[in-house]
Amino acid sequence: MKFFKYLILITLLIFFTCAFTFKKGLILFNVQPITAENALYNQKTFNAGQRVYYLFIAPKKMKNEFIRVQVFKMTDKAPWGGNEVVRTKDYRLMKDERYYHTNYFTLYESGRYVMQIFAHDDFQHPLALNDFYIH
């Protein structure tokens, strides 16, 4: 009986110590400019024409000076793969911004969108990925 208690305890400890480390970055969205007070508040739905503020948090210090922010729309009307690239922009990171990037954009068509952020030397594997909706 003690063996099973220790086995469950060890399993839970392993789960809790390993489950909360992340190797990918994180993208959070908000309707207001991102500050220290609302930085961890994530919003998923926005109105058409409303500014979509975002915060990208890198898992570790980025070595590249440039990142690419790409937004695509999930749709059935796209000719390839069910998505259509709506917006792509490259940003230069200053030395104090190597752990994060924040900015905003505006979209006017309703639908489901996905944002992904790439390091400038690897456009095949995104650093972070998150989805949101425009109504």
pLDDT tens track for 36-86: 888 878 999 999 999 999 999 998 888 889 999 999 999 877 666 678 899
Q: How far apart are CA 33 and CA 90, in angstroms?
A: 20
Confidence (pTM): 0.80
Closest to 46 in 3D by CA, of 89, 94, 87, 104: 104
Q: Kindly report, residue by residue over 80-121, the tens digit of the pLDDT.
A: 667 889 999 999 999 888 899 999 999 999 999 999 999 999
**CA nearest to 117, candidates 133, 97, 95:** 97
